[in-house]
């Protein structure tokens, strides 16, 4: 992709990245190992609280996952200087704070997956896992951690 292609794509999508969030405890936002950037778990901006299937619908969860994807992009931009350094989205893993009867975890995490595909195109196709959680930190509706292949 040409220089600044991802920044232009964000503008086309109407996405303005926030300031990257800081870690919630004693860990790094990102760790680079041999060209793979591991991004620590992030949640949606605004820090909504509650469980999917109890406090929030699947559609609201999808929107929270999309907001979480934007948080991840902000962390990447802060760490890398340019999102054009992302060669490929390798994997995302979602932990959905859900009522025990909730069964649409995969539909919730689609909010993040769809965003990454919109932003990175073919480079955004990734492996993925999603799990229901009894609880997550700060009672967030979900947390997503991610892995990206990057170039210097």
Average pLDDT over residues 101-112: 98
Domain 5-150 has what CATH class?
alpha beta
Mean pLDDT of 137-147: 97
Sign of CA dihedral 113, 118, 61, 28: positive
Q: What is the pTM of this model?
A: 0.95
> Average pLDDT over the chain, rounded to whole?
95
| CA–CA gap between residue 113 and residue 133 (Å, rounded) | 19
Per-domain boundaries in the chain: 5-150
Give the tens place of pLDDT for each residue, 14-68: 999 999 999 989 999 999 999 999 999 999 999 999 999 999 999 999 999 999 9
Does residue 4 or residue 36 have the better pLDDT? 36
Tokens representing residue 24 in the block: 């919630």
């Amino acid at each position: 992709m040409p220089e600044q292609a991802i920044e232009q794509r964000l503008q086309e999508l109407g996405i303005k990245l926030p300031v990257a969030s800081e870690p919630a405890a004693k860990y790094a936002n990102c760790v680079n190992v041999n060209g793979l950037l591991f991004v620590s778990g992030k949640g949606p901006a605004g820090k909504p609280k509650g469980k999917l299937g109890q406090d929030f619908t699947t559609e609201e969860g999808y929107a929270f996952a999309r907001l979480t994807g934007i948080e991840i992009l902000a962390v990447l931009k802060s760490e890398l200087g340019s999102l054009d350094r992302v060669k490929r989205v390798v994997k995302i893993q979602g932990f959905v704070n859900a009522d025990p009867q909730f069964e649409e975890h995969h539909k919730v995490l689609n909010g993040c997956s769809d965003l990454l595909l919109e932003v990175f195109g073919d480079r955004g196709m990734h492996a993925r896992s999603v799990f229901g959680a009894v609880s997550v930190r700060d009672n967030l509706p979900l947390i997503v951690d991610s892995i990206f292949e990057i170039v210097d």
